[in-house]
Structure 1
């Protein structure tokens, strides 16, 4: 099956530009969960869904779900989608590509008169990045039936809880449990995403088929010392929380560099009282650790936390650590890997097998159903950055591959 359109990629980029305008002011795209910008982009996505023949609905967890007629009738359904939220000053394509592209693929199939013999849902998940509340995968966990209701008590920087934010957005936290999909009606979950790495670009391939997703964990670290006048307190004996935290961050970085298949970052740092002439009394920072191996991640974590405790003792600081998130590595389903590879081959694209070093909504959806992922080459492997970019040609290739995959998909009862 081939598309009659030669400009799907240009249409895709135009739509992603449209969605990117739903952002807080400033560089890149900043669109947080349950924010005004979140509400604004859902109106844009809902219009795309209607054009593609889908019926959009905001669910209790803040997801926008577009369903085909067969899905609404309760027939076996393939779920596709990704997240609409971003990091602060992020890019246009991370997440949103996986929302806009399947909608465009379905629209083109409809235009060509091709009716799929199964139901389809496209989901713009409410929260994957965890930027606002540090509690990620809220939307996909709700659909997968593994939603952690304790996360409703998490707060943002203004003290607003997840529960309060969802209610103000028009969702219903008390009804989130009812969103869990029935396993016997879900065919699988497929997500299209930018690679967020340099492999495809280095090998000059537009697309890659993902074999597995990395394991991720996040920690909140609090380092407490004692404030004092910066000019009158002797250097000897100071309990400077920032000096201790700085050494902790450097030690974590050293361990990460020294350990194979182990990456991580201290991405957020808050200093109190944050005054030019006061010794810092408290530092809070985040520590994120990733590895495809649970053993590597566990050993690395223990090494880092032991080093942090030793540094705290040396500077007479108090240390408190709390794990705020954890997700184990998961494999993509062999049958979906094979189907995506065949779709690539039938459309003349290389089917590069890749491991994902980033986490995605598939980390939650794998507990409901089989998962598959298609990666799209991104310039310089750059992501979570305003300069994030893909080409129209690669977007066109990915759309055609997904159309081929959807057309060829064998469904139980139709094989």
Structure 2
């Protein structure tokens, strides 16, 4: 009993047409009209698979297949279908459509699970529009923060307004939706977004855990002046200060981190952003991740020292805002055991590896045991139109997802 490769490939190709940019890219920002169009199409595929569907007040698309025993904790499968502004075709979608294919294959084979299965396409996993991601899963698990609905995108639209345009009325009082004990397991399939599987020549990997991310926004403020008349020793140049911090941060992570430690400055805004004005204010993001919490904490402390010392030396005001903080989370041993056993039956000999990127699974882990399956992607490229995964590899990953879900749902 294997999944329907042709149906899955057809769905992947059709979804890639929504928000398509260039030949292979995708732009489906959270709560946008493209995001809603995608949700409506995927909802139809859920219903064809036998799921009853709804879109909740947070923008999550949820499909449900009732099990024979309504009292058993449920099994949840899923991922996301929103994208980065310059994204690829497989990030999130492979797991979301793969989860639907799992249920559809059960239907094809006349299987009614013992426990209820839900498939969820989580809302705004990426976080690029409102600078705060994994919104939908945090809403479901009760991990939202104050002011979430008032966060604004670059055009000044609040998340509340965007969700209204998406077609839902958010109500924070309905969060959390799930509580501990209500979910037996959450399983997510995702492309690896890294080069390990390709380097090992393996199509599929079993995830051991997810690194914990810290997201910071650092704002430095100096004083604007004419670029031609203010002497160098009298300047309060916020961009020079930011450059010093960014360079030292990069050196710190390279010097004292390991292969599981990564640090990134991915966004920088300069004011007034003129060729002949000394930059007065600079805001930039910091992303620091490690599977080892003690090491990450040590690096974070050193980063704060770098920021404070540089601001003092350059005579700059500094403000640091914490946008996201999550501890590393490890996959459940019993789920990894099932995956390993089913993997052996399939003959994949898949390796165990950790995840540097965080996923919806990271936040589901606070209320449920979880497991993840990775699928090889070409050169480890992701968040880029060149992102690519072979259908042969996706098929193998979804077959492992199917056998794992079958075991858990029938227990």
> For this structure pair, what is the TM-score category when the shorter chain's length is used for normalisation?
over 0.9
Alignment-derived partner of residue 22 in structure 1: 18
SS in 1 for 2:318: strand
1:288 aligns with 2:287: yes
Alignment-derived partner of residue 367 in structure 1: 366
SS in 2 for 1:409: helix
- Give the structure-2-normalised TM-score: 0.94
SS in 1 for 2:67: helix
Whether the 8 Å CA contact 1:102–1:122 is kept in 2: the answer is yes
1:147 aligns with 2:144: yes
- Give the structure-1-normalised TM-score: 0.93
The Cα shift of 1:247 comes to 1.4
1:391 aligns with 2:390: yes
Whether the 8 Å CA contact 1:24–1:37 is kept in 2: the answer is no
Aligned length: 408
SS in 2 for 1:184: coil
Aligned partners of 2:90 and 2:318: how far apart in 1? 38
Alignment-derived partner of residue 403 in structure 1: 402
Whether the 8 Å CA contact 2:69–2:115 is kept in 1: the answer is no
Question: What is the 5 A alignment of 1:63-74?
Answer: 63-70=60-67
Aligned partners of 1:393 and 1:208: how far apart in 2? 14
Q: 1:25 to 1:391 in 2, by over 3 A?
A: closer
SS in 2 for 1:351: coil
Aligned partners of 1:58 and 1:361: how far apart in 2? 17
Aligned partners of 2:118 and 2:145: how far apart in 1? 23
Aligned partners of 2:69 and 2:18: how far apart in 1? 29
The Cα shift of 1:166 comes to 2.3
Aligned partners of 2:202 and 2:87: how far apart in 1? 24
Q: 1:220 to 1:358 in 2, by over 3 A?
A: same
Alignment-derived partner of residue 167 in structure 2: 170
Alignment-derived partner of residue 227 in structure 2: 230
Aligned partners of 2:319 and 2:263: how far apart in 1? 19
Instruction: Identify which of 237, 251, 256 aligns with 1:254.
Output: 251
Q: Show structure 1 runs of 5+ residues with no match.
A: none
Give the stretch that moved more between structures: 365-374 or 83-92. Answer: 83-92
Aligned partners of 2:135 and 2:173: how far apart in 1? 10
Alignment-derived partner of residue 39 in structure 1: 36
Q: Show structure 2 runs of 5+ residues with no match.
A: none
1:378 aligns with 2:374: no
The Cα shift of 1:330 comes to 0.7
Q: 1:177 to 1:259 in 2, by over 3 A?
A: farther
The Cα shift of 1:205 comes to 1.1
1:263 aligns with 2:259: no
1:138 aligns with 2:119: no
Report Cα offsets for 1:293-331 as digits up to 9, x if no partner: 121111111111211221222222211111111011111
Alignment-derived partner of residue 211 in structure 1: 208
